[in-house]
Structure 1
Amino acid sequence: MAAGKRKIIESRKKDRPMKKNMIDLKKEMKNIKLHLDAFSAVQAKLIEAISSLSASPNRDQLMMIRNFNLNVKQMNVRIGEDYIDEMLLKLTADEVNGK
């Protein structure tokens, strides 16, 4: 009887999903901040490049840098939003799973 009971317990252990790690919100927020800081640094460099070229007569180059700066700003917002959405999905999944 004990051997049969042991087999049932072992089969139940195999059926259970592995325990998932809890989300560390502080760590996730640090990651978000790092991403946003990196893009802010890129923006600062671009602004510096724009200010150095503003006296230059090459308008095409200036417009290209301004457009690139706008794209970086949009990417910055999208990455921040995507990261926050992903984190919210993880939190929702954990709530559904009862963690």
Structure 2
Amino acid sequence: MNDSTLQESDYTAAETAEFRTVMSDCTTALSGALRACAPDGQWQPTSTSLVGQLTEADELLDQMYRRLGETRRAIRQIDSRARQRFLVRSVPSQSEPDDPTG
């Protein structure tokens, strides 16, 4: 029986470093965006009109959504490489035919 759960050992040192960099970059970008619009933890729009505030909110959310999406894609790529290696190791080779005589 093969356990299909990836383990820490399935990831290379480079992938571990890449994952940590991707997450650090993401949290830094999100923190910066939040500090710019909510320095005291409360959103402080620069526009006084509701329409302007809605536009600011949309821009902020779009920026955060893009960054989170980029981060998720990068993590999926890292995970996919590890899973591919795991599957290559786990699946028996099909190059040798089964012995029909049993």
TM-score interval (norm. to shorter): 0.5 to 0.7
Pairwise CA distance, 1:36: 1.2
Consecutive unaligned residues in structure 1, runs of 5 or more: 1-21
TM-score (ref. length: structure 2): 0.55
Deviation readout 1:23-50 (Å, 9 max, x if unpaired): 32430222122221232112331335x5
Aligned residue number for residue 87 of structure 1: 78
Moved over 4 A (4+): none
1:5-44 pair list within 5 angstroms:
23-24=12-13, 25-40=15-30, 41-44=32-35
Number of equivalences: 74
Cα RMSD, aligned residues only: 2.4
Question: Structure 2, unaligned stretches of length 5 or more?
Answer: 1-10, 90-102
Residues 25-34 or 59-68, more deviating? 25-34
Greater share of residues in helix: 1
Larger Rg: 1
Instruction: Output the TM-score relative to the length of structure 1.
Output: 0.56
Q: 2:61 aligns with which of 59, 70, 94?
A: 70
